[in-house]
Amino acid sequence: MHPMLMIAVKAARRAGKIINQASQSIDLLTVTKKSHSDYVSEVDRAAEDAILDVLKAAYPDHAILAEESGQQGNRNKSDYLWIIDPLDGTTNFLHGFPKYSVSIGLAYRGVLTHAVVYDPVMNELFTASKGAGAYMNDRRIRVSKRIRLEDCLIGTGFPFRDLTHANAYFGMFKEIVPRTAGIRRPGSASLDLCYVACGRYDGFWEIGLAPWDMAAGCLLITEAGGLVGDLEGNNKHLQSGQIVAANPKIFSQLIQTIAPHLTPELIDAQRNAVDF
């Protein structure tokens, strides 16, 4: 395992321990509402602090983009950028719904190079390094081999933060439901992407994600043999927050299925998205 990946694993496990301990007394937590249906708890912040402590001790000059604390360090002076979601699935966590994760990605000169997603409930650790494959608990993982959309289990996430493109999304949803074997919406995009990487899902799509929701999961999928892109299949997903991910056979079928529901506004938002 690459030394940088080992540091990321250490950070993710430390955050996971904090989350697991806090899950025993959810009713005692302090919770703040950031925006509609978007919450942050003291656990999010404590988990993020634990991650930052580990990363900064090892790599004090690296830049950081974290969900709760924002951007740290000078991205113009560092080739390295850590992209962090300390608790992806806060709403699930606050309800005791056991689907949430810690996500840590590292980009070198704008290219994702290392990824860790940790599910503290299941104790499943997903890791990947560019060119070295993807793993779950040290076992090599691959995307599924299904070739027909009608046989596929597809993951998604509802656009809960920003409802600007809700009508377009629900049009896609109505199109995909009868054409597949099933749809799942657990509520942690980082984990959803891991499920594509290890073949539990055959594909996934969502609108309105943040870079920290996707960065680690995207590398896991490509290292597991899958494809990731925006809703048109282009490479603007991290910038736009619109994403389609799947095994190679299903990727194009998902893109074609949602294509009729791409509004001009959604296409413009995607093509004009700026770097995060």
Smallest CA-to-CA distance from 235 within 270, 202, 268, 208 is with: 270
| Helices H / strands E in the chain, number of each | 9, 15
Angle at which helix 248-258 crosses helix 166-176, to 10 degrees, equals 120
Angle at which helix 3-22 crosses helix 42-58, to 10 degrees, equals 160
CA distance 170 to 14: 38
In the block, tokens 């793993």 appear at: 135
pLDDT number for residue 43: 87
Q: What's the fold here for domain 3-140?
A: Fructose-1,6-Bisphosphatase; Chain A, domain 1 (3.30.540)
CA distance 23 to 197: 27
pLDDT number for residue 34: 63
Q: What's the fold here for domain 149-271?
A: D-Maltodextrin-Binding Protein; domain 2 (3.40.190)
The pTM of the full predicted model, rounded to 2 decimals, is 0.93
CA distance 199 to 193: 10
In the block, tokens 């983009």 appear at: 65
pLDDT number for residue 83: 97
CA distance 26 to 43: 10
pLDDT number for residue 38: 55
Smallest CA-to-CA distance from 20 within 92, 93, 69, 91 is with: 93
pLDDT number for residue 35: 60
Where are the chain's structural domains?
Answer: 3-140, 149-271
Look up residue 34 and give its two tokens: 């950031």
Same fold, 3-140 and 149-271: no
In the block, tokens 């890791």 appear at: 127
Pairing type for strands 31-35 and 38-41 reads: antiparallel
CA distance 85 to 97: 18
Tens-digit pLDDT profile for the chain (276 aa)? Answer: 899 999 999 999 999 999 999 888 877 776 777 665 555 678 888 999 999 999 999 999 999 999 887 777 666 778 999 999 999 999 999 989 999 999 999 999 999 999 999 999 999 999 999 999 999 998 999 999 999 999 999 999 987 667 788 899 999 999 999 999 999 999 999 999 999 999 999 999 999 999 999 999 999 999 999 999 999 999 999 999 999 999 999 999 999 999 999 999 989 988 998 887
